[in-house]
Amino acid sequence: MEIIKGTALLLLVLACFSLFSYKAPKGMKAMAALAGAACAAFLVEAFQLFVGGDLLGIEFLGEVGSAAGGMGGVAAAALVALAVGASPVYALLLGVSCAGLGLLPGFIAGYLVAFLVKWIEKKVPGGLDLIVIIVLCAPLVRLIGKYMTPVVDATLLNIGGIITETANSNPILMGIILGGVITVVATAPLSSMALTAMLGLTGVPMAIGALAVFGSSFMNYVLFDRMKFGDRKTTISVAVEPLTQAHIISANPIPVYVTNFVGGASAGVIIALSGLINNATGTATPIAGLAVMYGFNDPMKVTIVAAACAAVGLVCGFLGSLVFKNYKIKTVDQLSAQGKEESAA
| Maximum mean pLDDT: which of 21-30, 148-157, 240-249 | 21-30
Q: What is the mean pLDDT of residues 263-267?
A: 93
**Residue 10 pLDDT greater than 80, yes or no:** no
Contact between residue 202 and residue 164 where contact means Cβ atoms under 8 Å apart: yes
149-183 confidence digits (pLDDT tens) = 888 777 776 777 767 676 667 788 888 888 888 88
Assess whether 148 and 209 both reside in one domain. Answer: no
Q: Evaluate whether residue 37 is within a structural domain.
A: yes
More confident residue, 341 or 282: 282
pLDDT of residue 28: 78
pLDDT of residue 339: 61
C-alpha triplet 222, 188, 27: angle, nearest 5°: 155
Q: Evaluate whether residue 228 is within a structural domain.
A: yes
Contact between residue 40 and residue 282 where contact means Cβ atoms under 8 Å apart: no
Assess whether 177 and 203 both reside in one domain. Answer: yes
Q: What is the mean pLDDT of residues 119-142?
A: 90
**Residue 342 pLDDT greater than 70, yes or no:** no
CA distance 165 to 174: 10
Assess whether 173 and 141 both reside in one domain. Answer: no
pLDDT of residue 207: 92
Q: What is the mean pLDDT of residues 18-44?
A: 81
Assess whether 124 and 194 both reside in one domain. Answer: no
**Residue 223 pLDDT greater than 80, yes or no:** yes
Percent of the chain at pLDDT exceeding 70: 92
Assess whether 131 and 8 both reside in one domain. Answer: yes
Query: pTM here?
Result: 0.75
Instruction: Give, to the nearest 10 degrees, the angle between helix 27-38 and helix 192-199.
Output: 70
pLDDT of residue 57: 83
Assess whether 98 and 176 both reside in one domain. Answer: no
More confident residue, 152 or 300: 300
CA distance 83 to 144: 19
b/e map 176-211, b = 16+ CB within 10 Å:
bbbbbbbbbbbbbbbbbbbbbbbbbbbbbbbbbbbb
Assess whether 150 and 193 both reside in one domain. Answer: no
**Residue 229 pLDDT greater than 70, yes or no:** yes
pLDDT of residue 17: 76
pLDDT of residue 294: 87
**DSSP characters over 141-203:** HHHHHHHHHHHHHHTHHHHHHHHHHHHHH-HHHHHHHHHHHHHHHHTSTT-HHHHHHHHT--H
Percent of the chain at pLDDT exceeding 90: 36
**Residue 84 pLDDT greater than 80, yes or no:** yes
Phi and psi based region of residue 200 (left: phi greater than 0; alpha: psi -120 to 50; beta: remaining):
left
Q: Evaluate whether residue 345 is within a structural domain.
A: no
Assess whether 122 and 35 both reside in one domain. Answer: yes
CA distance 310 to 235: 16
pLDDT of residue 82: 94
Q: Evaluate whether residue 335 is within a structural domain.
A: no
Q: Evaluate whether residue 44 is within a structural domain.
A: yes
Assess whether 177 and 320 both reside in one domain. Answer: yes
pLDDT of residue 338: 65
Assess whether 180 and 278 both reside in one domain. Answer: yes
Assess whether 27 and 94 both reside in one domain. Answer: yes
Structural domains of the chain, count = 2
More confident residue, 254 or 288: 254
Range of the domain at 150: 2-154
pLDDT of residue 110: 95
SS3 9: helix
Assess whether 213 and 286 both reside in one domain. Answer: yes
Q: Evaluate whether residue 331 is within a structural domain.
A: no
